[in-house]
Chains A and B, each alone.
Chain A
């Protein structure tokens, strides 16, 4: 290999393997912080071009397609990973870091993927790893939100996968290049898959549903990677799809509207991710060099300030145990540093001069202006005002200022403040010296944000937004409401499914009552014909086992102390072993089946049910009219238990076949011979 670097995804993902061996907290912390630094150096060393490519099933896989676009995303992902890790190292447990590293590594994998196959693999790892950051919170709400999150993402993955399949069939190439809308269904499916991860409404509810339920540090990671990788792939694949400009504008406004209504501070910020990503999607749709530069710059700046905002909100949640705006207030006295650092993030997202949002967001709005797309320009400018209104005024006012809620708190651990500090410094640095960021952008930049006109415009609309805010102050207080979003479709349509499920359940109970006793009847039957059939079936089963399964082990024969002496005769030993083997096999199978039943299937069923229905009924467990029960009864009892029962029953009968009568065994041999002949003839006949 000519390169001294490796795809950064693997550094991060494989670094997780060493984590369990780092028992001491200090070692763990140093290790966790060094890995992103190594990855950053690695990204710096990467040389342009397509590297690490190999043939797989006749297609060319490219693990490292390095150009300016992929590099700038890699830089910010690694920086965000470092900041998020620093924010979380006070935690004793490593599971969040494990999930975060897998998540970050796979995000880097997506960014450097030069083909659809590796892109899809990393895409799915990303979805799964990120879910654990939600589950790690350990609350009931986070567990069901996590299930909804993963199901929506797996569905999105399926749509993307179908799109990729169609694309590969149509073009014969697996390379991930510009797609556009010329491929019909394939384009649409891939676009929908990408848009789902970019949280384009109506496919956005997973974000505002799950992010506020994740752990304090988890949300910081979540806010950085999923939507921004989606922006990256949109830039790559759909950079001049014009209607995305309108989609993005609507998205930007949608996030702002919901942020007015949301009560949880982290949900307000989550809706603002949707709004901010809307700016980027709009820029992707405009597709000019300025717009693409703007989208990338904004993604870069956004990851920093959104991380900072989520860190600030996370501190509030960590120190007070409360994240609802209606319950917060007057906290600045207890955590002034956190408040100040949060405000740097708030000024950045609002686009205050000398902060990072000012130099990135304005590129996108200018691009809309230069493209003379009035609607997009108007909505984006409107949404900018809305961003300041919520993130810069409403949220900090009702959290840190405003009426005293009686909640007390304190400054968080130093590592959290340090993480926020680094993010703040970077936000201001980009604001003061935008050329640092502009030099990283994919196209040459001829844009100067600090013009007199731009400064004057910004000062005016920011100031009068603030005037409007203080006029409408009393209408903006937080209220404890649940806000309808598109997750309604999979959270509230449950009663319909439930009544269908109830019908199934009743039928299933009846069916089960009927079928449960069949083995019992069979074993009790005295009818000679029936006994013969049973015997024959058992015998055939034994022979089948003899051919395919008979591998007696020492352990099995050693267990046979209490068995009759017949076993000691060499003639009958194999048969005895077989029976013992069947016995223990059936026992093991049924044990495994019941373990599988209770551990895996029940949980999966419960999870699926949580996704589709509200959790209360499943937890209380009294009502059988739920999807979980249907799933349990039909799939588990019908399949797993059913198989176990059959094996158990057959094993039992096989054991009883040790009659000790020579004629029984002779019959077995005869039948076996007949069966063998039959089998051979069939085989010969088809030749």
Chain B
């Protein structure tokens, strides 16, 4: 697993997270948790500053779109303009 000698407790924590089956469970669990959060969000009246915030599960959609937008926007900008060879300034 690891070449280094770590503290047994740390070693234990690392082994805990290196279990792929457990990680899968954690993944499913977190999806479930967020699903629950979204359901709760329908009942909690948010004091949004803008109307757009009243859309159901707005922040889920926003988070997802924001992530995709940032990556696509930046990478496109990089490809067509900003990315130069590594020795550009030399």
Contact = CB atoms under 8 A, between A and B. Distances in A.
B13 interface: yes
B28 interface: no
Contacts of A389: 67, 70-71
A188 B86 CA distance: 37
A455 B24 CA distance: 25
A495 B68 CA distance: 39
A109 B86 CA distance: 40
A334 interface: yes
Given A410-B4, A483-B82, A459 B66 contact: no
Contacts of B82: 261, 483-485
Contacts of B75: 260-261, 475
B63 A461 contact: yes
Contacts of A261: 74-75, 77-78, 82-83
Contacts of A599: none
A615 B4 CA distance: 41
Interface residues of B, number: 50
A334 B14 CA distance: 11
B40 interface: yes
B88 A476 contact: no
Contacts of B13: 336
Contact of B84 (A382, A456, A481): A481
A457 B37 CA distance: 9
Nearest to B37: A459
B84 A484 contact: yes
Nearest to A374: B50
A482 B84 contact: yes
Given A261-B83, A481-B78, A460 B63 contact: yes
Contacts, number: 158
A410 B74 CA distance: 34
Range, interface on chain A: 35 or more
Nearest to A480: B86
Contacts of B71: 260, 389, 468, 472, 475-476
A369 B53 CA distance: 11
B88 A482 contact: yes
A378 to B, nearest CB: 9
Nearest to B41: A456
A261 to B, nearest CB: 5
Interface string B24-65: 000000100110011011001111111000000101111110
A484 B86 contact: no
Given A334-B2, A483-B82, A614-B90, A260 B67 contact: no
B74 A465 contact: no
Grouping DSSP codes into helix (H, G, I), strand (E, B) and loop, the B interface class, with mixed when no group exceeds half, is: helix
A337 B2 CA distance: 14
User: At the interface, is chain A mostly helix, strand, loop or mixed?
Assistant: helix
B19 interface: no
A555 interface: no
Most buried by B among A370, A458, A461: A461
Given A457-B46, A463-B34, A481-B86, A260 B70 contact: yes
B45 to A, nearest CB: 8
Given A334-B3, A453-B47, A460 B41 contact: yes
B83 A256 contact: no
A188 B1 CA distance: 59
A460 B78 contact: no
A385 B67 contact: yes
A481 B83 contact: yes
A333 B44 contact: no
A333 B14 contact: yes
A370 B49 contact: yes
A468 B63 contact: yes
B1 A616 contact: no
Interface string A479-496: 111111100000110000
Contacts of B21: none
B6 to A, nearest CB: 6
A453 B48 CA distance: 9
B49 A385 contact: no
A382 B52 CA distance: 14
A456 B89 contact: no
Contact of A465 (B2, B48, B67, B90): B67
A377 B1 CA distance: 46
A165 to B, nearest CB: 35
8 contacts: A260-B78, A261-B78, A336-B10, A385-B63, A461-B60, A467-B67, A472-B67, A472-B71
Given A261-B77, A482-B85, 7 more contacts: A334-B3, A372-B49, A372-B50, A461-B60, A464-B61, A468-B63, A482-B83
Closest 8 pairs (CB-CB, A-B): A468-B67, A369-B49, A461-B63, A260-B74, A464-B63, A460-B59, A453-B46, A385-B66
